[in-house]
Amino acid sequence: MIGRRYNRSRYRRQKNKKNVIISIICLLIIGGVVVGIKFIPKSNKENVQVTTKPDEEIDSGDKEVVNNSEDKDVTDNFEEVESNILDNSGYLSFEEDPNADDAAIVAENTKGLLNGTKHYPVRTDGKKVVYLTFDDGPSTTNTPGILDVLDRYNVKATFFTLGKSIEANEEAKSILKETVKRGYAIANHTYGHDYSYLYPNRTMNVDNIVSDLEKSENSMKAVLGKDFSTRVIRLPGGYWSWEGRTPMKEAMEQDGYYNVDWNALNKDAEGKTKNADELLQSTKDTIEVLGPNADSVVLLMHDTYGKEETVKALPQIIEYLQGKGFEFRTIK
């Protein structure tokens, strides 16, 4: 009996000990889970999705702060974009304009060809390029017709405008804006085209010329916007027609101007009045004399009042140049 009680007691002790061990293990397991939930590693916290309150449950004060912050970012961005927009009727620089060539290069090539220091070919890209240029406008009678012809043939041109022509009437100002809108280049041909004022005794008066150029550009700014500018100029009668060129050359370099003369023309301002056929023939004659290697041609024409025959001749002139393989570009 004593032996059996001893064995039963030993069995209970062993059983109790086993239960204690199992309880301890269970507690350890439960505690580990709780600890694991409570102490989420930093790396795992980044992946935990947090559910926020709906907008209507957010405190109104906090909500206002958030919205004000977003509005401020939008306003700042809008102001930054606005500050980058030039007040120049959308006029593109030559770097931005796919149809334009650098006035510095065109001026240098044309000058070299005229004074004999350069010979064709002068371009480095293998192209044949003609620059159609129109002086003395805008006019209400002929500039619109020239723009329409250019658009029809999808070719570009450069307009050497006069300040007094721009200021002549409101329609002329609208035509200047339309010229820019259609993607043509605007250049400065002085304000008044007054030979006696610009070249007294056939000598360049630098102060008068610069003043006239500035006055003309102010006329352009008044129409196209305060940020408009052009570095392309053409002196009435041409740069090489007058004495005193060296001081003028220094003034142009100082002011960043590039004078672009011409080496071909339709002669619509020379001699007797010519009809469209005669203007076409003059164009052909002056281009043919340049030779077969001519690859950079600046063609002088006029879009001022009394040049209706130039408008009529322009389609034939364009077709002739296209037949010679020329590409049409602007000067900026």
Say which of 101, 135, 261, 268 is annotated catalytic. Answer: 135
Tell me how crowded residue 199 is: count the other CB atoms within 10 A of its CB.
Answer: 20
Say which of 193, 261, 268, 302 is annotated catalytic. Answer: 302
Residue 119 appears among annotated catalytic residues = no
In angstroms, rounded to a whole number, what is the distance separating the alpha carbons of residues 159 and 143? 9
Residue 189 appears among annotated catalytic residues = no
In angstroms, rounded to a whole number, what is the distance separating the alpha carbons of residues 101 and 74? 38
Cα angle 243, 118, 265; round to 5: 65
Which residues does 20 contact at the CB level (< 8 Å), separation at least 6? none
DSSP H helical ranges for 48-153: 60-83, 103-115, 143-153
User: Token digits for 257?
Assistant: 């101007």
Q: Which helix (H) or strand (E) holds 176?
A: helix 170-181
Per-position DSSP letters for 184-250, written without gaps between them: -EEEE--SS--HHHHSGGGB--HHHHHHHHHHHHHHHHHHH-TT----EE--TT-GGGSB-HHHHHH
In angstroms, rounded to a whole number, what is the distance separating the alpha carbons of residues 7 and 140? 128
Reported as half-sphere exposure (CB side, CA atoms, 13 A), residue 145 has a value of 18
Tell me how crowded residue 317 is: count the other CB atoms within 10 A of its CB.
Answer: 23
* Helix/strand/coil (H/E/C) assignment for every residue in 104-128: HHHHHHHHHHHHCCCCCCCCCCCCC
Which residues are designated catalytic? 135, 302
